[in-house]
Amino acid sequence: MVNSSSSARTKRLVGMALFTAIIVVLQLVATFVKIGTFSVTLVLIPIVVGAAVYGPKSGAYFGGVFGLVVLIACVFGWDIGGNILWNANPFLTLLLCLVKGIAAGWAAGMVYSAVSKKNMYLGVVVAALICPIVNTGIFCLAMAVFYNDILVQWAAGTPLLYFTIFGLVGVNFLLELGINVVLCPTVARIIRIEKLTRR
């Protein structure tokens, strides 16, 4: 019994470490893949998978790892738009990077836990949708509330709502959402296999 419990703990730690490494590498690569001012986020799928397999708290942890890598990119200027925010207000930028990542991972885990009880595949789809919505939603809200002057400068006379939806996050968000939806069947298979190996 002790060996079984110890083995399960070891498997979980190895799995968590593997997902952490995947998130760090993918986000570092994504830092240099840009559409517009901001980098494309490639790590939402591993966050969704990790949150589904290990639960909402682990999802929050994976989201926090993602947020930390985004923050590092902002600080070192690898993400030009993020660096502008960092120079304007380092503390708020730190909070924004961490909060939006943590919230996205936690929300994905919570939604998956609730919906997958009725239908596992539907749980994956809803979690894959909610993750980029929360991530981008918090970003847009923070831009409107805390970085309004910068948002006005970037918009350069374009109405703010139009610029935010179509200029600031439009293509990036749609790309992230599209990748998540397209990969849902694969994600569902990965989760099913992982859950079978844990029995």
**Residues forming beta bridges with residue 67, ordered by sequence position:** none
* Confidence band, pLDDT 50/70/90 cuts, at residue 91: very high
Round to whole Å and give the CA distance between 199 and 183: 25
- Can you give the pLDDT at residue 156? 79
Q: What is the CATH number of domain 2-197?
A: 1.10.1760.20
Round to whole Å and give the CA distance between 195 and 95: 34
Can you give the residue ranges of every domain in the chain?
A: 2-197
Round to whole Å and give the CA distance between 79 and 97: 12
Residue from 164, 139, 172, 132 nearest 33 by CA: 172
Query: By percentage, how much of the chain surpasses pLDDT 90?
Result: 35
**Residue 39 carries which side chain, given as an amino acid letter?**
S
Round to whole Å and give the CA distance between 94 and 131: 20
Round to whole Å and give the CA distance between 109 and 50: 8
Contacts of 183 (CB under 8 A, 6+ apart): 45, 128
- Cβ(49)–Cβ(58) below 8 Å: no
- Is the pLDDT confidence value at 164 over 80? no
**Model-level pTM?**
0.84
